[in-house]
Structure 1
Amino acid sequence: MTDSSSASSLIIGGAASSSRAPLPTLPPLALYIHIPWCVRKCPYCDFNSHTASPVLPEQEYVDAMLADLDQDLHAVYGRELSSIFFGGGTPSLFSAEALGRLLEGVKQRIPFADDIEITLEANPGTFEQEKFVAYRKLGINRLSIGIQSFQQEKLKALGRIHNGDEAVRAAGMARQAGFDNFNLDLMHGLPDQSLDDALSDLRQAIDLKPTHISWYQLTLEPNTVFWNQPPVLPEDDTLWDIQEAGQALLAEHGYAQYEVSAYAQPGRPARHNLNYWSFGDFIGIGAGAHGKLSHPDGRIVRTWKTRLPKDYLNPAKSFQAGEKALTNDEMPFEFLMNALRLTAGVESRLYPERTGLPLESLDEHRREAEQSGLLQVEPSRLAATERGQLFLNDLLQKFLS
Structure 2
Amino acid sequence: MKKSLVFAMAMALGISTTAFAANPFSDLSPGHWAYGAVAKLAAAGVVDGYPDGTFKGNRTMTRYEMAQIVAKALAKGAISADDRLISEFADELDNLGVRIARLEKNADNVKITGNIRTHYVHTTGDRGRSSVTKTRSRLFFTGEVNDNWHYTGMLQNEQQWNNKGKNDSGDSDTDFQRAFLTGHIGAVDVTAGRYGAFYGDGNIYDTRVDGINAKTKFGNAYAGATWGKMANKSTYGWTGLNETDKEKQAKAKASKAGEFTQAVLGGDIGNLNLEASYYHIKDLKTEWVSGSNNIWTAAANYKAGDWNGGIMYLHGDADELVNGVEPDHDGWVAKLGYKGATAAKPGSWGLYAQYYDQGGATYVAHTMCGDYAAFGPAGFKGWMVGGNLTVAKNMVAKVEYYDLKTRDANDDLKIKDGDHSRTLWSQIVVTF
Q: TM-score range by the shorter chain?
A: under 0.3
TM-score by length of 2: 0.25
Higher RCO, 1 or 2 (CA under 8 Å, sep at least 6)? Answer: 1
| Higher share of residues assigned helix | 1
**Structure number with higher strand proportion:** 2
TM-score of the aligned structures, taking structure 1 as reference length: 0.27
- Pair member with larger Rg: 2
